[in-house]
Amino acid sequence: MKQFEVPAFYRSPLITAIKKKRKEADKMKKDFSPTLLDFGPVQIFLARHFGFCYGVENAIDIAFRTVAENPGKRIFLLSEMIHNPHVNADLHAHGINFLHDTAGNEIIPLSSLRADDIVLIPAFGTTLEMEADLHARGILTEPYNTTCPFVEKVWNRSEVIAKKNYTIVIHGKPKHEETRATFSHAAAGAPAVIVNDMKEAELLATYITGEKQPDTFYQVFKGQYSEGFDVTKDLQRIGVVNQTTMLASDTQAIADYLKKVMLDKYLPAGGDPEAYFADTRDTLCYATHDNQTAVSGMLETKADLAIVVGGYNSSNTSHLVELCEGKLPTYFIKNREHLMAGGEILHYNLHRKEEKITANFLPDNRPVKILITSGASCPDAIVEGVIEQLLGYFPDSKKLSELLDSY
């Protein structure tokens, strides 16, 4: 696999050594048990897979290389490169300005762009409409396109099944940059509709079966279907693709459910399933799958709590939090500064969309057992910082340097 030049300040000597050792011992990635870091009074269990994925490293490589190779030029990003506040702050500090926020609202007017400006497309990709707008302004995007190859794989698969007259059902968050981009690419070749979760998939099924009146579809799925979508015709052959950072198990469950609905309606006596439902299992992102499977493996370890590190608006990170929350107390934090003096932790409540401070989050038993993972856009250096900060609560613990010597 291609190697990327990622700034050294994102790396962690300890975590790099751990990942290298685990990779050498488990080349086929069959062992999803966590790595134990025994500091004495506190034991850290690191997920088998976490941190920067291929697509994120590719995007960071292109962005920093673009800055280095174009001194004096104005450089912009369409929106956040990835959903990590530290990385985006670093890019801004290196002179890259953001044209839009994550919701697509304009920060810097596109009308202010010049043909000699550089505009980076983020890892999530962008819409065909935005690409056309930039090209019309004389701005070349191809050399500065950091779209994740696995996102492009979803687009390519959508194009293939669109040519076979399937409607594209996209499992994703309707307002997420990647879903907006995937919807644009899918809708260029076929009717398309977005479902956010299983509840919306079940709603969609009521229009497939005819249980609900067709006219109500357009209000129920307002803003989530392509122009000219005809609910009476466009749900007779479908294929499911996904926003790559969604829970893989959720996407698979939605696909399995909709496939059964289609076959129950159109092939009750058997026949060729692909006459009505396209096989799109190959659109699931390997990194999302590995990180989620690693969390499931980590959760088999008896522990006191879990800490998930990453950006609050990171979709893949939020799903890791959800997995952990189902098993034990879980704290979603951005960095080491959220581990505060006096045994307090500043963390994010996904469901209420707000930060809160919890006092005395560490139990009195010894050793304290803590599970740790991070999102695909979180630098390993930040995870190492969190571990180091945790050790500060235990004055008699081993030092990070002592464990590094063992690797």
| Residue entry with tokens 């879990």 | 306
Residue 326 CB: number of other CB atoms within 10 A?
Answer: 9
Residue 178 is among the residues annotated as catalytic for this protein:
yes
CA dist., res. 94 & res. 279, Å (int): 44
- SS3 for 48? coil
CA dist., res. 99 & res. 79, Å (int): 6
* CA 167 to each of CA 186, 198, 226, 253: distance values in angstroms, whole numbers, following the listed order: 9, 18, 10, 18
Among residues 80, 131, 177, 178, which one is catalytic? 178
CA dist., res. 150 & res. 167, Å (int): 21
Structure tokens belonging to residue 35 = 């790595």
CA dist., res. 227 & res. 223, Å (int): 10
**Phi, psi (rounded to 5 degrees) for 139:** -95, 125
| Pairing of β 354-359 and β 344-349 | antiparallel
Contact present, 287 and 151 (Cβ < 8 Å):
no
Run of H or E residues at 374:
strand 368-374
Within 139-272, residue ranges assigned H as helices are 149-162, 177-187, 198-208, 217-220, 248-266
Q: Which residues are catalytic?
A: 178
